[in-house]
Structure 1
């Protein structure tokens, strides 16, 4: 069962999506101060959409691009590269268009 886009993910869901063990995500929380998922009773972690995006970026830096943890920390603290900002704005624009079309359909159905 897939969750809606924007839904919180548990640590097991996020780890499964990325193909990583859960302890790696917990380790990253100790090394990347920006990564702070919600913790509820029993220390259950819930990753917000911003946390999920950050974890994906950390995974990209460490496991795809070959950065060290220190290098990934520096890359994240320096801010996103220009190409990443363009990708993010393109993604946001496509999501906004999707929402606009959903609203237009809903209004059309309500008027019928």
Structure 2
């Protein structure tokens, strides 16, 4: 029997849907303050539709897009995924460094026979 759209999901149902272990969802609750399912007797968790959408987004950021937990936290906190994980501007490498790295790349290519 399929649940109606908007029905609460248990941790087992959500974990199965996302292809994760239940302990991962419990871990996410400790790292993402926005993710707060209802907890009933015996600490049974019930995920509201908003919680389900957030868990799906967290899963997307972490397991599909390759964000770190810290990066995903920033993306969710700022409400955008287009944030710079490192807010400092990138330093321009020294020309000498670029020449040394290119020489190393050429040496590696020769060693690999390319």
Describe how 1:6-17 pairs up with structure 2 within 5 A: 6-17=6-17
Is residue 23 of structure 1 aligned with residue 48 of structure 2?
no
Q: Flag structure 2 segments of 5+ consecutive residues without an equivalent.
A: 83-114
Is residue 36 of structure 1 aligned with residue 39 of structure 2?
no
Q: CA deviation at 1:2?
A: 1.4
Q: CA deviation at 1:12?
A: 0.1
Q: Cα deviations across residues 51-96 of structure 1 (Å, max 9, x unaligned)?
A: 00000000000000000000000000010459xxxxxxxxxxxxxx
| CA distance in 2 between partners of 1:33 and 1:59 (Å) | 15
Instruction: State the secondary structure of the residue aligned to 2:62.
Output: helix
Question: TM-score, normalised on structure 2?
Answer: 0.70
Q: Moved runs in structure 1, 4+ residues, more than 2 A? A: none
Question: TM-score, normalised on structure 1?
Answer: 0.71
Instruction: State the secondary structure of the residue aligned to 1:2.
Output: coil
| CA distance in 1 between partners of 2:52 and 2:60 (Å) | 12
Residue 61 of structure 2 corresponds to which residue in structure 1?
Answer: 61
Tell me which structure has the larger Cα radius of gyration: 2
| CA distance in 1 between partners of 2:69 and 2:55 (Å) | 13
| CA distance in 2 between partners of 1:2 and 1:78 (Å) | 35
Equivalent pairs counted in the alignment come to 82
Q: Flag structure 1 segments of 5+ consecutive residues without an equivalent.
A: 83-112
Identify, as 1 or 2, the structure richer in helix: 1
